[in-house]
């Protein structure tokens, strides 16, 4: 592998991993039609089937079907809106409140040491479902990073999604 100093462009200290297979996703996207939006469809399903952990008045919390880590949650408004600036004051307040409660529950249940929290808004920003606003809450533990996803196309998820959903849902109103 070449060192980054030998690559074209501005030299930096990073080693670059080229992923040309991602170009198809970048160019074509994988966005569902609005009528197939999984975040619109989830609330009409049973909580266990949809991996819903908590339902609020203006939004809900569910496990990410393609998690970065065990316990990777998404907070979504019920309304099909694409960006945070379109959310009502009530939706914003509840998204914030559910995010705080999710952090407390994940800390209590999984003993995580930190979180990545964020929203990718718009397809160009990397939103997997760009048409429906959702916030990621990814629990993190010391020394939890590994290269499985990069070199082996494998994610190390030590628990089944259903087990995690059941445990988080049971703890939702207990932790405060």
Residue 4, SS3 per DSSP? helix
Catalytic residue among 58, 132, 134, 136: 134
Residue 58 near residue 88, CB atoms below 8 Å: yes
How many beta carbons lie within 10 A of that of residue 143, not counting itself?
7
Structure tokens at 27: 């160019």
DSSP 17: -
134 noted as active-site residue:
yes
Find out whether 71 and 172 touch, Cβ atoms under 8 Å: no
Residues 111 and 142: their CA atoms lie apart, in Å, by: 11
Positions marked active-site: 134
């Amino acid at each position: 592998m070449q060192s980054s100093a030998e690559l074209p462009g501005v030299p930096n200290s990073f080693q670059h991993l080229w992923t040309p297979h991602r170009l198809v996703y970048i160019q074509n996207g994988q966005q569902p039609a609005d009528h197939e939006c999984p975040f619109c469809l989830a609330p009409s399903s049973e909580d266990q089937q949809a991996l819903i952990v908590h339902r609020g008045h203006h939004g809900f919390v569910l496990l990410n079907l393609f998690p970065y880590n065990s316990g990777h949650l998404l907070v979504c408004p019920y309304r099909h809106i694409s960006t945070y600036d379109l959310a009502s004051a009530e939706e914003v307040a509840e998204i914030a409140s559910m995010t705080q409660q999710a952090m407390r529950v994940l800390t209590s249940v999984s003993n995580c040491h930190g979180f990545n929290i964020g929203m990718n808004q718009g397809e160009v920003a990397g939103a997997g479902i760009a048409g429906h606003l959702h916030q990621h809450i990814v629990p993190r533990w010391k020394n939890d990073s590994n290269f499985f996803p990069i070199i082996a196309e494998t994610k190390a998820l030590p628990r089944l999604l259903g087990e995690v959903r059941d445990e988080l849902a049971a703890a939702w109103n207990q932790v405060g």
